[in-house]
Chains A and B, each alone.
Chain A
Amino acid sequence: MTQATSPLPRQRKSGVGSLLGAAGNHYVLVACSAVAFIVLWQIVSMNVPPVILPSPASVAVAFVQLTASGELVRATLQTLWPFAIGLSVAFIVGTSLGLVLGIFAPAAKLFDPYIFVFWSIPNIAWLPLFIAWFGVGNLTLVVFVFVSAVFPQLLTVEAGAKEADSFLVEVARSLGGSKREILHIVVLPSALPYIFAGLRIAVGRALVGIIVGQLLIVATGIGYMFQFYGETLSLAKYFAPLIVIAALAVLLNRAVNWAENFFIPWKTRAFV
Protein backbone atom coordinates (compact mmCIF):
# COMPACT_ATOMS: atom_id res chain seq x y z
CA MET A 1 0.00 0.00 0.00
CA THR A 2 1.05 3.55 -0.51
CA GLN A 3 2.25 5.41 2.54
CA ALA A 4 -0.41 7.55 4.17
CA THR A 5 0.41 11.21 4.57
CA SER A 6 3.34 11.74 6.90
CA PRO A 7 2.71 11.42 10.64
CA LEU A 8 1.27 14.43 12.32
CA PRO A 9 3.83 16.23 14.45
CA ARG A 10 3.51 15.25 18.10
CA GLN A 11 3.21 18.83 19.14
CA ARG A 12 2.18 21.60 16.83
CA LYS A 13 4.12 24.72 17.73
CA SER A 14 1.29 27.15 17.19
CA GLY A 15 -1.09 24.86 19.06
CA VAL A 16 1.18 24.58 22.09
CA GLY A 17 1.88 28.31 22.06
CA SER A 18 -1.75 29.25 22.01
CA LEU A 19 -2.46 26.60 24.63
CA LEU A 20 0.15 28.11 26.95
CA GLY A 21 -1.36 31.49 26.24
CA ALA A 22 -4.76 30.20 27.15
CA ALA A 23 -3.37 28.65 30.34
CA GLY A 24 -1.60 31.90 31.17
CA ASN A 25 -4.81 33.84 30.69
CA HIS A 26 -6.51 31.28 32.88
CA TYR A 27 -4.14 31.90 35.80
CA VAL A 28 -4.42 35.67 35.42
CA LEU A 29 -8.19 35.28 35.52
CA VAL A 30 -8.05 33.11 38.64
CA ALA A 31 -5.74 35.59 40.41
CA CYS A 32 -7.99 38.52 39.49
CA SER A 33 -11.07 36.78 40.73
CA ALA A 34 -9.34 35.80 43.99
CA VAL A 35 -8.28 39.38 44.61
CA ALA A 36 -11.79 40.62 43.82
CA PHE A 37 -13.25 38.02 46.16
CA ILE A 38 -11.00 39.05 49.06
CA VAL A 39 -11.68 42.75 48.46
CA LEU A 40 -15.43 42.10 48.45
CA TRP A 41 -15.08 40.00 51.59
CA GLN A 42 -13.14 42.81 53.28
CA ILE A 43 -15.80 45.38 52.32
CA VAL A 44 -18.67 43.24 53.59
CA SER A 45 -16.84 42.34 56.82
CA MET A 46 -16.25 46.04 57.60
CA ASN A 47 -20.00 46.59 57.56
CA VAL A 48 -21.09 43.66 59.73
CA PRO A 49 -20.05 42.61 63.25
CA PRO A 50 -17.02 40.24 63.35
CA VAL A 51 -19.23 37.63 64.96
CA ILE A 52 -21.18 37.38 61.70
CA LEU A 53 -18.28 37.62 59.24
CA PRO A 54 -14.63 37.99 60.27
CA SER A 55 -12.37 40.07 58.04
CA PRO A 56 -9.89 38.31 55.73
CA ALA A 57 -7.02 39.73 57.74
CA SER A 58 -8.31 38.34 61.05
CA VAL A 59 -8.80 34.94 59.38
CA ALA A 60 -5.22 35.06 58.13
CA VAL A 61 -3.99 35.86 61.64
CA ALA A 62 -6.08 33.04 63.14
CA PHE A 63 -4.77 30.67 60.46
CA VAL A 64 -1.16 31.52 61.32
CA GLN A 65 -1.81 31.24 65.06
CA LEU A 66 -3.55 27.88 64.78
CA THR A 67 -0.79 26.60 62.51
CA ALA A 68 1.97 27.84 64.80
CA SER A 69 0.36 26.31 67.88
CA GLY A 70 0.21 22.96 66.06
CA GLU A 71 -3.53 22.67 66.55
CA LEU A 72 -4.41 22.94 62.87
CA VAL A 73 -1.74 20.48 61.79
CA ARG A 74 -2.75 17.97 64.45
CA ALA A 75 -6.42 18.32 63.53
CA THR A 76 -5.63 17.91 59.85
CA LEU A 77 -3.74 14.69 60.54
CA GLN A 78 -6.54 13.42 62.79
CA THR A 79 -8.91 14.01 59.89
CA LEU A 80 -6.64 12.72 57.17
CA TRP A 81 -5.79 9.28 58.32
CA PRO A 82 -9.28 7.84 59.02
CA PHE A 83 -10.33 9.56 55.79
CA ALA A 84 -7.49 7.96 53.83
CA ILE A 85 -8.03 4.48 55.28
CA GLY A 86 -11.81 4.55 54.80
CA LEU A 87 -11.51 5.91 51.27
CA SER A 88 -8.78 3.46 50.25
CA VAL A 89 -10.72 0.45 51.47
CA ALA A 90 -13.88 1.80 49.83
CA PHE A 91 -11.98 2.28 46.57
CA ILE A 92 -10.57 -1.24 46.57
CA VAL A 93 -13.79 -2.94 47.68
CA GLY A 94 -16.04 -0.76 45.52
CA THR A 95 -13.91 -1.21 42.41
CA SER A 96 -13.48 -4.97 42.70
CA LEU A 97 -17.07 -5.66 43.71
CA GLY A 98 -18.30 -3.28 41.00
CA LEU A 99 -16.26 -5.16 38.39
CA VAL A 100 -17.51 -8.54 39.58
CA LEU A 101 -21.15 -7.42 39.58
CA GLY A 102 -20.76 -5.65 36.25
CA ILE A 103 -19.22 -8.70 34.59
CA PHE A 104 -21.25 -11.54 36.10
CA ALA A 105 -24.91 -10.83 35.51
CA PRO A 106 -26.18 -13.48 37.97
CA ALA A 107 -24.16 -11.94 40.81
CA ALA A 108 -25.59 -8.54 39.94
CA LYS A 109 -29.12 -9.94 39.97
CA LEU A 110 -28.50 -11.35 43.43
CA PHE A 111 -26.80 -8.36 45.03
CA ASP A 112 -28.11 -5.29 43.23
CA PRO A 113 -31.32 -4.99 45.29
CA TYR A 114 -29.37 -5.02 48.57
CA ILE A 115 -26.86 -2.52 47.31
CA PHE A 116 -29.62 -0.27 46.12
CA VAL A 117 -31.42 -0.39 49.45
CA PHE A 118 -28.25 0.28 51.45
CA TRP A 119 -27.27 3.06 49.12
CA SER A 120 -30.69 4.70 49.38
CA ILE A 121 -30.46 4.99 53.16
CA PRO A 122 -29.07 8.44 54.07
CA ASN A 123 -25.53 7.88 55.34
CA ILE A 124 -26.08 9.82 58.53
CA ALA A 125 -28.68 7.28 59.66
CA TRP A 126 -25.88 4.73 60.09
CA LEU A 127 -23.84 6.81 62.47
CA PRO A 128 -25.64 5.96 65.76
CA LEU A 129 -25.55 2.28 64.82
CA PHE A 130 -21.81 2.41 64.09
CA ILE A 131 -21.24 4.04 67.47
CA ALA A 132 -23.13 1.21 69.13
CA TRP A 133 -21.04 -1.31 67.21
CA PHE A 134 -17.63 0.31 67.07
CA GLY A 135 -17.67 2.83 69.92
CA VAL A 136 -16.87 6.53 69.86
CA GLY A 137 -13.52 6.48 68.12
CA ASN A 138 -11.56 6.28 64.96
CA LEU A 139 -12.94 2.87 63.97
CA THR A 140 -16.40 4.39 63.68
CA LEU A 141 -14.97 7.21 61.56
CA VAL A 142 -13.19 4.79 59.22
CA VAL A 143 -16.31 2.68 58.82
CA PHE A 144 -18.46 5.74 58.25
CA VAL A 145 -16.08 7.09 55.59
CA PHE A 146 -16.03 3.65 54.01
CA VAL A 147 -19.83 3.41 53.84
CA SER A 148 -20.06 6.96 52.48
CA ALA A 149 -17.59 6.26 49.67
CA VAL A 150 -18.07 2.63 48.76
CA PHE A 151 -21.49 2.86 47.12
CA PRO A 152 -20.76 5.56 44.56
CA GLN A 153 -17.53 3.73 43.69
CA LEU A 154 -19.25 0.36 43.40
CA LEU A 155 -22.26 1.54 41.42
CA THR A 156 -20.25 3.63 38.98
CA VAL A 157 -17.77 0.85 38.27
CA GLU A 158 -20.56 -1.71 37.93
CA ALA A 159 -22.30 0.51 35.38
CA GLY A 160 -18.97 0.93 33.57
CA ALA A 161 -18.28 -2.79 33.36
CA LYS A 162 -21.77 -3.32 31.95
CA GLU A 163 -21.14 -0.54 29.41
CA ALA A 164 -18.56 -2.55 27.44
CA ASP A 165 -19.29 -2.00 23.76
CA SER A 166 -20.96 -5.16 22.45
CA PHE A 167 -19.52 -4.48 19.01
CA LEU A 168 -15.96 -4.49 20.33
CA VAL A 169 -16.77 -7.73 22.12
CA GLU A 170 -17.90 -9.19 18.80
CA VAL A 171 -14.75 -7.97 17.08
CA ALA A 172 -12.61 -9.65 19.73
CA ARG A 173 -14.68 -12.79 19.37
CA SER A 174 -14.24 -12.81 15.59
CA LEU A 175 -10.48 -12.70 16.13
CA GLY A 176 -10.79 -15.82 18.27
CA GLY A 177 -10.82 -14.22 21.73
CA SER A 178 -11.88 -16.44 24.64
CA LYS A 179 -14.13 -15.13 27.40
CA ARG A 180 -11.11 -14.42 29.57
CA GLU A 181 -9.27 -12.63 26.81
CA ILE A 182 -12.33 -10.52 26.00
CA LEU A 183 -12.59 -9.56 29.67
CA HIS A 184 -8.98 -8.49 29.64
CA ILE A 185 -8.97 -6.77 26.26
CA VAL A 186 -12.42 -5.16 26.07
CA VAL A 187 -14.32 -5.14 29.35
CA LEU A 188 -11.67 -3.99 31.83
CA PRO A 189 -10.28 -1.14 29.71
CA SER A 190 -13.79 0.16 29.00
CA ALA A 191 -14.49 0.19 32.74
CA LEU A 192 -11.32 2.16 33.53
CA PRO A 193 -12.77 5.67 32.97
CA TYR A 194 -15.65 4.74 35.26
CA ILE A 195 -13.24 3.78 38.04
CA PHE A 196 -12.02 7.37 38.06
CA ALA A 197 -15.50 8.83 37.67
CA GLY A 198 -16.52 6.78 40.71
CA LEU A 199 -13.44 7.88 42.63
CA ARG A 200 -14.27 11.53 41.99
CA ILE A 201 -17.69 11.08 43.63
CA ALA A 202 -16.32 8.81 46.37
CA VAL A 203 -13.71 11.39 47.39
CA GLY A 204 -16.41 14.01 47.86
CA ARG A 205 -18.63 11.67 49.83
CA ALA A 206 -15.75 10.51 52.01
CA LEU A 207 -14.84 14.10 52.81
CA VAL A 208 -18.42 14.81 53.89
CA GLY A 209 -18.36 11.57 55.89
CA ILE A 210 -15.22 12.36 57.89
CA ILE A 211 -16.29 15.94 58.69
CA VAL A 212 -19.80 14.90 59.71
CA GLY A 213 -18.46 12.06 61.85
CA GLN A 214 -15.94 14.27 63.65
CA LEU A 215 -18.34 17.17 64.00
CA LEU A 216 -21.27 15.20 65.37
CA ILE A 217 -19.78 12.29 67.24
CA VAL A 218 -16.12 11.67 67.63
CA ALA A 219 -14.97 15.20 68.44
CA THR A 220 -11.53 15.10 66.82
CA GLY A 221 -9.83 16.72 63.88
CA ILE A 222 -11.10 19.36 61.53
CA GLY A 223 -14.73 18.42 62.08
CA TYR A 224 -14.38 19.11 65.79
CA MET A 225 -12.71 22.44 65.09
CA PHE A 226 -15.80 23.46 63.17
CA GLN A 227 -17.98 22.45 66.06
CA PHE A 228 -15.85 24.07 68.74
CA TYR A 229 -15.15 27.43 67.07
CA GLY A 230 -18.69 27.56 65.73
CA GLU A 231 -20.24 27.11 69.15
CA THR A 232 -17.86 29.59 70.77
CA LEU A 233 -18.51 32.02 67.93
CA SER A 234 -14.76 32.36 67.21
CA LEU A 235 -15.42 32.76 63.53
CA ALA A 236 -11.92 33.86 62.53
CA LYS A 237 -10.65 30.52 63.86
CA TYR A 238 -13.62 28.73 62.31
CA PHE A 239 -12.45 29.82 58.85
CA ALA A 240 -8.97 28.34 59.19
CA PRO A 241 -10.04 24.66 59.03
CA LEU A 242 -12.48 25.67 56.31
CA ILE A 243 -9.52 26.78 54.20
CA VAL A 244 -7.74 23.49 54.91
CA ILE A 245 -10.76 21.46 53.80
CA ALA A 246 -11.21 23.53 50.65
CA ALA A 247 -7.54 23.10 49.79
CA LEU A 248 -7.76 19.38 50.47
CA ALA A 249 -10.79 19.01 48.21
CA VAL A 250 -9.07 20.86 45.38
CA LEU A 251 -5.86 18.86 45.79
CA LEU A 252 -7.70 15.54 45.78
CA ASN A 253 -9.63 16.52 42.70
CA ARG A 254 -6.37 17.43 40.97
CA ALA A 255 -4.87 14.12 42.03
CA VAL A 256 -7.78 12.20 40.49
CA ASN A 257 -7.41 14.23 37.28
CA TRP A 258 -3.74 13.46 37.18
CA ALA A 259 -4.31 9.73 37.75
CA GLU A 260 -6.97 9.75 35.05
CA ASN A 261 -4.62 11.35 32.53
CA PHE A 262 -1.93 8.91 33.46
CA PHE A 263 -4.03 5.75 33.24
CA ILE A 264 -6.30 6.72 30.33
CA PRO A 265 -3.88 8.12 27.79
CA TRP A 266 -6.13 7.20 24.85
CA LYS A 267 -8.63 9.83 25.93
CA THR A 268 -6.29 12.60 26.85
CA ARG A 269 -3.72 12.27 24.10
CA ALA A 270 -6.22 12.57 21.30
CA PHE A 271 -5.60 15.73 19.35
CA VAL A 272 -7.48 15.22 16.08
Chain B
Amino acid sequence: MPELEFVNIRKGYRSPTGDDLLAISDFSLKVDGGRFVTVVGPSGCGKTTLLRMAAGLIAPGAGEVRLDGVPLATPSPKMSMVFQAIGLMPWKTVESNVALGIQLQSHRQKLTPDELGRVQATIALVGLKGFERYYPSQLSGGMQQRVGLARALVRQPEILLMDEPFGALDAQTRAVLQDELLNLWGRIKSTVLFITHDLDEAIYLSDMVVIMGRRPGRIKEVLEVKLPRPRYSYDARAEPEFARLRNIAWQSIKEEL
Protein backbone atom coordinates (compact mmCIF):
# COMPACT_ATOMS: atom_id res chain seq x y z
CA MET B 1 0.00 0.00 0.00
CA PRO B 2 1.36 3.43 -0.96
CA GLU B 3 2.22 5.77 1.82
CA LEU B 4 2.68 9.48 1.97
CA GLU B 5 5.13 11.11 4.31
CA PHE B 6 5.80 14.70 5.27
CA VAL B 7 9.32 15.08 6.66
CA ASN B 8 10.26 18.22 8.61
CA ILE B 9 8.34 20.53 6.33
CA ARG B 10 8.93 24.26 6.69
CA LYS B 11 7.46 26.98 4.59
CA GLY B 12 7.93 30.69 5.01
CA TYR B 13 6.70 33.66 3.11
CA ARG B 14 7.44 37.33 2.99
CA SER B 15 4.76 39.55 4.49
CA PRO B 16 3.70 42.81 2.82
CA THR B 17 5.80 44.66 5.41
CA GLY B 18 8.87 42.73 4.30
CA ASP B 19 9.25 40.45 7.32
CA ASP B 20 9.91 36.76 6.87
CA LEU B 21 7.04 34.84 8.41
CA LEU B 22 6.97 31.15 9.12
CA ALA B 23 3.75 29.66 7.76
CA ILE B 24 4.53 26.03 8.54
CA SER B 25 7.10 24.84 11.02
CA ASP B 26 8.56 21.33 11.39
CA PHE B 27 5.56 19.47 10.13
CA SER B 28 6.12 15.72 10.04
CA LEU B 29 3.34 13.27 9.34
CA LYS B 30 3.17 9.76 8.04
CA VAL B 31 0.00 8.74 6.24
CA ASP B 32 0.03 4.97 6.18
CA GLY B 33 -1.16 3.19 3.06
CA GLY B 34 -4.89 2.63 2.83
CA ARG B 35 -5.79 4.95 5.67
CA PHE B 36 -8.17 7.86 5.66
CA VAL B 37 -6.36 10.74 7.36
CA THR B 38 -7.87 14.17 7.86
CA VAL B 39 -6.09 17.37 8.77
CA VAL B 40 -8.23 19.94 10.58
CA GLY B 41 -7.28 23.38 11.72
CA PRO B 42 -8.36 26.98 11.78
CA SER B 43 -8.09 28.93 8.55
CA GLY B 44 -4.59 30.21 8.00
CA CYS B 45 -2.89 27.21 9.64
CA GLY B 46 -1.38 26.12 6.34
CA LYS B 47 -3.37 22.94 5.79
CA THR B 48 -4.17 23.73 2.17
CA THR B 49 -0.52 24.65 1.60
CA LEU B 50 0.47 21.21 2.89
CA LEU B 51 -1.96 19.50 0.57
CA ARG B 52 -0.68 21.45 -2.41
CA MET B 53 2.83 20.32 -1.47
CA ALA B 54 1.61 16.73 -1.37
CA ALA B 55 0.12 17.24 -4.83
CA GLY B 56 3.48 18.47 -6.09
CA LEU B 57 2.04 21.87 -6.98
CA ILE B 58 4.37 23.82 -4.70
CA ALA B 59 7.69 22.94 -3.14
CA PRO B 60 8.31 23.06 0.60
CA GLY B 61 10.79 25.66 1.81
CA ALA B 62 12.66 22.92 3.65
CA GLY B 63 12.03 19.24 4.22
CA GLU B 64 10.36 16.95 1.75
CA VAL B 65 7.22 15.10 0.84
CA ARG B 66 7.82 11.43 0.10
CA LEU B 67 5.63 9.07 -1.84
CA ASP B 68 6.61 5.49 -0.96
CA GLY B 69 9.91 6.85 0.30
CA VAL B 70 10.71 8.76 -2.88
CA PRO B 71 10.86 12.58 -2.65
CA LEU B 72 8.10 14.22 -4.66
CA ALA B 73 8.84 17.24 -6.85
CA THR B 74 6.08 17.35 -9.46
CA PRO B 75 2.48 16.12 -9.62
CA SER B 76 2.42 12.35 -9.60
CA PRO B 77 0.24 10.19 -11.85
CA LYS B 78 -0.37 8.01 -8.80
CA MET B 79 -2.28 10.82 -7.11
CA SER B 80 -5.50 12.71 -7.70
CA MET B 81 -6.61 15.90 -6.09
CA VAL B 82 -10.16 17.09 -5.47
CA PHE B 83 -10.61 20.84 -4.96
CA GLN B 84 -13.16 22.82 -2.99
CA ALA B 85 -13.73 25.06 -6.03
CA ILE B 86 -13.91 21.86 -8.14
CA GLY B 87 -12.27 23.34 -11.25
CA LEU B 88 -14.18 21.65 -14.04
CA MET B 89 -13.40 22.92 -17.54
CA PRO B 90 -16.56 24.86 -18.49
CA TRP B 91 -16.03 24.02 -22.18
CA LYS B 92 -15.97 20.29 -21.60
CA THR B 93 -18.92 18.00 -21.01
CA VAL B 94 -19.11 15.79 -17.93
CA GLU B 95 -17.68 12.92 -19.96
CA SER B 96 -14.78 14.98 -21.35
CA ASN B 97 -14.00 16.42 -17.93
CA VAL B 98 -13.75 12.95 -16.45
CA ALA B 99 -11.70 11.74 -19.43
CA LEU B 100 -9.28 14.59 -18.76
CA GLY B 101 -8.20 12.74 -15.60
CA ILE B 102 -6.85 9.94 -17.80
CA GLN B 103 -5.60 12.10 -20.68
CA LEU B 104 -3.34 14.21 -18.47
CA GLN B 105 -2.15 11.10 -16.65
CA SER B 106 -1.20 9.13 -19.77
CA HIS B 107 -0.42 12.18 -21.96
CA ARG B 108 -2.51 10.68 -24.73
CA GLN B 109 -5.42 12.53 -26.32
CA LYS B 110 -7.18 9.41 -27.52
CA LEU B 111 -8.58 7.05 -24.93
CA THR B 112 -8.38 3.30 -25.42
CA PRO B 113 -11.72 1.42 -25.43
CA ASP B 114 -10.77 0.13 -22.01
CA GLU B 115 -10.23 3.65 -20.69
CA LEU B 116 -13.48 4.84 -22.26
CA GLY B 117 -15.24 2.08 -20.40
CA ARG B 118 -13.59 3.24 -17.20
CA VAL B 119 -14.83 6.79 -17.80
CA GLN B 120 -18.40 5.50 -18.25
CA ALA B 121 -18.15 3.26 -15.20
CA THR B 122 -16.78 6.04 -13.00
CA ILE B 123 -19.52 8.44 -14.08
CA ALA B 124 -22.05 5.77 -13.14
CA LEU B 125 -20.21 5.15 -9.87
CA VAL B 126 -20.66 8.76 -8.75
CA GLY B 127 -24.32 8.61 -9.74
CA LEU B 128 -24.21 10.74 -12.87
CA LYS B 129 -25.27 8.20 -15.47
CA GLY B 130 -27.30 10.03 -18.09
CA PHE B 131 -25.48 13.33 -17.55
CA GLU B 132 -22.46 12.47 -19.72
CA ARG B 133 -23.13 15.15 -22.31
CA TYR B 134 -24.03 17.93 -19.88
CA TYR B 135 -21.85 20.96 -19.41
CA PRO B 136 -20.81 21.89 -15.85
CA SER B 137 -22.96 25.03 -15.96
CA GLN B 138 -25.98 22.78 -16.39
CA LEU B 139 -25.31 20.93 -13.12
CA SER B 140 -25.89 21.78 -9.47
CA GLY B 141 -22.92 22.33 -7.15
CA GLY B 142 -23.26 18.86 -5.64
CA MET B 143 -23.37 17.23 -9.07
CA GLN B 144 -20.34 19.26 -10.18
CA GLN B 145 -18.37 17.95 -7.23
CA ARG B 146 -19.42 14.42 -8.16
CA VAL B 147 -17.81 15.10 -11.54
CA GLY B 148 -14.72 16.40 -9.71
CA LEU B 149 -14.65 13.19 -7.73
CA ALA B 150 -15.08 11.08 -10.87
CA ARG B 151 -12.23 12.92 -12.58
CA ALA B 152 -10.04 12.02 -9.59
CA LEU B 153 -11.21 8.40 -9.26
CA VAL B 154 -10.99 7.52 -12.95
CA ARG B 155 -7.20 7.78 -12.57
CA GLN B 156 -7.33 4.88 -10.12
CA PRO B 157 -5.17 6.90 -7.75
CA GLU B 158 -3.15 5.29 -5.03
CA ILE B 159 -3.47 8.49 -3.07
CA LEU B 160 -6.48 10.76 -3.07
CA LEU B 161 -5.93 14.33 -1.90
CA MET B 162 -9.06 16.23 -0.97
CA ASP B 163 -9.04 19.94 -0.19
CA GLU B 164 -12.30 20.75 1.61
CA PRO B 165 -14.19 19.12 -1.25
CA PHE B 166 -17.60 19.57 0.36
CA GLY B 167 -16.92 22.97 1.91
CA ALA B 168 -18.96 24.93 -0.61
CA LEU B 169 -21.99 22.63 -0.55
CA ASP B 170 -25.17 22.91 1.49
CA ALA B 171 -25.48 20.76 4.64
CA GLN B 172 -27.73 18.07 3.13
CA THR B 173 -25.69 17.62 -0.02
CA ARG B 174 -22.57 17.52 2.09
CA ALA B 175 -23.95 14.76 4.34
CA VAL B 176 -24.99 12.70 1.32
CA LEU B 177 -21.61 13.10 -0.37
CA GLN B 178 -19.75 12.22 2.85
CA ASP B 179 -21.57 8.89 2.99
CA GLU B 180 -21.02 8.28 -0.68
CA LEU B 181 -17.34 9.07 -0.34
CA LEU B 182 -17.05 6.53 2.48
CA ASN B 183 -18.89 3.99 0.40
CA LEU B 184 -16.59 4.59 -2.59
CA TRP B 185 -13.48 4.54 -0.46
CA GLY B 186 -14.63 1.20 1.00
CA ARG B 187 -14.38 -0.19 -2.53
CA ILE B 188 -11.23 1.46 -3.87
CA LYS B 189 -9.24 1.45 -0.66
CA SER B 190 -6.78 4.10 -1.68
CA THR B 191 -4.95 6.26 0.80
CA VAL B 192 -6.84 9.48 1.48
CA LEU B 193 -5.52 12.76 2.81
CA PHE B 194 -8.48 15.02 3.49
CA ILE B 195 -8.50 18.66 4.56
CA THR B 196 -11.39 20.33 6.31
CA HIS B 197 -12.19 22.80 9.05
CA ASP B 198 -15.32 20.89 9.99
CA LEU B 199 -14.60 18.71 13.07
CA ASP B 200 -17.67 16.51 12.62
CA GLU B 201 -16.75 15.81 9.04
CA ALA B 202 -13.18 14.99 10.06
CA ILE B 203 -14.17 12.52 12.78
CA TYR B 204 -16.97 10.94 10.77
CA LEU B 205 -14.77 10.20 7.77
CA SER B 206 -11.36 9.40 9.18
CA ASP B 207 -9.19 6.76 10.76
CA MET B 208 -6.96 9.48 12.08
CA VAL B 209 -7.55 13.19 12.68
CA VAL B 210 -4.59 15.55 12.78
CA ILE B 211 -5.29 18.84 14.54
CA MET B 212 -3.14 21.76 13.50
CA GLY B 213 -2.37 24.99 15.28
CA ARG B 214 -1.40 28.16 13.52
CA ARG B 215 1.30 30.85 13.52
CA PRO B 216 3.24 28.88 12.63
CA GLY B 217 1.27 25.92 11.29
CA ARG B 218 2.20 22.80 13.23
CA ILE B 219 0.68 19.56 14.54
CA LYS B 220 -1.02 20.03 17.89
CA GLU B 221 -2.69 16.74 18.41
CA VAL B 222 -3.38 13.46 16.65
CA LEU B 223 -6.60 11.52 17.34
CA GLU B 224 -7.26 7.93 16.35
CA VAL B 225 -10.88 7.32 15.42
CA LYS B 226 -11.81 3.74 16.22
CA LEU B 227 -15.51 3.94 15.43
CA PRO B 228 -16.40 0.80 13.43
CA ARG B 229 -17.01 1.04 9.68
CA PRO B 230 -19.08 1.37 7.61
CA ARG B 231 -20.19 4.35 9.62
CA TYR B 232 -23.18 5.14 7.46
CA SER B 233 -24.68 1.82 8.50
CA TYR B 234 -25.44 3.19 11.98
CA ASP B 235 -25.71 6.63 13.56
CA ALA B 236 -21.99 7.09 14.15
CA ARG B 237 -22.39 10.76 15.00
CA ALA B 238 -24.59 9.82 17.99
CA GLU B 239 -22.00 7.47 19.56
CA PRO B 240 -20.47 8.56 22.90
CA GLU B 241 -17.03 7.95 21.36
CA PHE B 242 -17.82 10.46 18.62
CA ALA B 243 -18.81 13.06 21.22
CA ARG B 244 -15.67 12.35 23.23
CA LEU B 245 -13.38 12.85 20.22
CA ARG B 246 -15.28 15.91 19.14
CA ASN B 247 -14.85 17.42 22.58
CA ILE B 248 -11.11 16.79 22.64
CA ALA B 249 -10.69 18.22 19.17
CA TRP B 250 -12.80 21.25 19.96
CA GLN B 251 -10.88 22.01 23.17
CA SER B 252 -7.65 21.76 21.24
CA ILE B 253 -8.73 23.90 18.31
CA LYS B 254 -10.44 26.52 20.48
CA GLU B 255 -7.09 27.66 21.80
CA GLU B 256 -6.08 28.51 18.24
CA LEU B 257 -9.01 30.73 17.38
Q: A2-B180, A181-B107 are in contact. Are A176 and B77 (CB under 8 A)?
A: yes
A44 to B139, CA, bound (A): 55
Among A1, A3, A175, the residue within 8 A (CB) of B80 is A175
Chain A: which residue is nearest B132 at the CB level? A7
Chain B: which residue is nearest A172 at the CB level? B104
Chain A count of residues within 8 A CB distance of the other chain: 32
Chain B: which residue is nearest A269 at the CB level? B135
A3 to B124, CA, bound (A): 8
Q: A167-B87, A265-B135, A266-B90 are in contact. Are A272 and B140 (CB under 8 A)?
A: yes
B101 within 8 Å of A (CB atoms) = yes
Min CB distance B211 to A, Å, is 26
| Size category of the binding interface on chain B | 35 or more
A156-196 interface bits toward B, Cβ cutoff 8 Å, 1 = contact, 0 = none? 00000000000110111111111001000110011010000
Contacts of B130 in A (CB 8 A): 6-7
Chain A: which residue is nearest B183 at the CB level? A1
Contacts of B91 in A (CB 8 A): 189-190, 192, 264, 266
Contacts of A8 in B (CB 8 A): 138
- Whether A167 lies near B85 (C-beta < 8 A) is yes
Contacts of A174 in B (CB 8 A): 55-57, 75, 81, 83
A262 to B77, CA, bound (A): 35
Min CB distance B60 to A, Å, is 16
* Interface residues of chain B: helix, strand, loop or mixed (majority): loop
Min CB distance B126 to A, Å, is 5
A4 within 8 Å of B (CB atoms) = yes
Q: A174-B75, A177-B104 are in contact. Are A7 and B57 (CB under 8 A)?
A: no
Contacts of A181 in B (CB 8 A): 103-104, 107
Which of B55, B57, B138 is most buried by chain A, counting CB atoms within 10 A of its CB? B138
Contacts of A7 in B (CB 8 A): 130-131, 134
Q: State the B residues within 8 Å of A (CB).
A: 55-57, 75-77, 80-81, 83, 85, 87, 89-92, 100-101, 103-105, 107, 125-131, 134-140, 142-143, 146, 151, 155, 176, 180, 183-184
What would 30 A/B residue contacts be, using CB atoms closer than 8 Å?
A: A1-B125, A1-B126, A1-B180, A1-B183, A2-B127, A2-B176, A2-B180, A4-B127, A4-B131, A4-B146, A7-B130, A167-B83, A170-B87, A171-B87, A174-B57, A175-B81, A175-B105, A176-B77, A178-B107, A189-B91, A264-B91, A265-B135, A266-B136, A267-B90, A267-B137, A269-B135, A269-B138, A270-B135, A270-B138, A272-B139
